[in-house]
Amino acid sequence: MTTPIRPVPSAQVRRYLDSLAPQANYWGRDVPALRKQARDHVLAFRGRLEPVAHVESVDAGGVPARLYRPRGDEDDVLVWMHGGGWMLGDLDCCEGVARAIAHRAGCAVLTVDYRLAPEHPFPAAFDDTWAAVGWARRHFAQVAVGGDSAGGNLAAAAALRARDSRVDLALQLLVYPVLDSTMDTPGKRRFVTSYSTFAGTADYGRTAFERIAYLWDAYVPDRTMRRSPVVSPLHAETLRGVSPAVVITAEHDILRGESVEYAARLSEDLVPVEVHDYVGQIHGFIEYLGVMPDATDALEKAGSALRRAFAHREPDRAGLAISTPSDIHS
């Protein structure tokens, strides 16, 4: 009988995991403390912030947001939703990613401070996302959407809504997105057992499984809504006609299977899709620019894809007005 091969983290992941000090377990007990812990963690590893020409707070259709302009005269914008399981994260947590993408893509980046669960369950985060997309369309020539983890979920859902609303998007950038609310899948169950002692961490797989289940309960407490495509994009009847996609995955991520399946469905439905899988990586790595060279590489690929997408598509002029200095705060 052969011995099963255990998953192996990359050297950069191993260094990162070895550097972590024990943290208090606030899950399920103290949401404000959990948010602070998660924020402090990201800020400690996000690295040096890249300079941009202009940063300002904006009201994006009634939603607080932050706009980054690498030069100051960009006509195109990426609307970015941060990760954090719809419960954690804020605009500071995704600032490193936003600045890096702005530089590499040569476009503006709008980060969205959407409402968080459990205080604001579904559809609050999605409604805020769609409002921000509408604002972006009124102020920029071309719009793309993107996000990591729960933010990737919101971006994929927005791309589906855009397709159904005949709204043109240049690209959807999905970084290890949450795409399927179904917990009892072979892939997720297999992750629990295969990652029982990943990188020397006891119950790594089960902890990941239980936290995702907890976040789904907070974001969509009404279980009857969870198969809706704006909640679980993988359950959309068809993906035909949605915007082209870039999907970034991590080998050691409990969500990797649903990302791979979504990319395959996009291809089957004749949607151009580009997949970048990071061997040895873990969920969340793209925010750790200070310690993860893979994060820099992933953002280089994302920036290149955005440049190509904006260059090869006609601007969506229907109902648009390119922003001017006098109306950028509207």
204: number of Cβ within 10 Å: 22
- The span from the CA of 251 to the CA of 285, in Å, is 11
Integer Rg of the chain from CA: 19
- SS3 state at 4: coil
User: CA angle at residue 289 from 216 to 13, to 5 degrees?
Assistant: 75
**CB proximity list for 176: less than 8 A, separation 6 or greater:** 148, 149, 152, 248, 249, 250, 253, 255, 256, 259, 283, 284, 286
- The span from the CA of 298 to the CA of 121, in Å, is 31
Among 325, 240, 285, smallest CA distance to 97 is for 285
- The span from the CA of 238 to the CA of 229, in Å, is 10
- The span from the CA of 211 to the CA of 219, in Å, is 12
142: its two tokens:
């071309």
Three-state SS string over 182-228 comes to: CCCCHHHHHHHHHCCCHHHCCCHHHHHHHHHHHHHHHHCCCHHHCCC
Q: Say how many residues make up the chain.
A: 330
Q: Considering 148, 181, 283, 294, which one is annotated as catalytic?
A: 283
What's CA 111's distance to the chain center, in Å? 11
Q: Considering 76, 113, 180, 253, which one is annotated as catalytic?
A: 253
**CB proximity list for 40: less than 8 A, separation 6 or greater:** none
Q: Annotated catalytic, 149?
A: yes
Q: Annotated catalytic, 253?
A: yes
Q: Considering 10, 149, 228, 259, which one is annotated as catalytic?
A: 149
* Catalytic (active-site) positions: 149, 253, 283
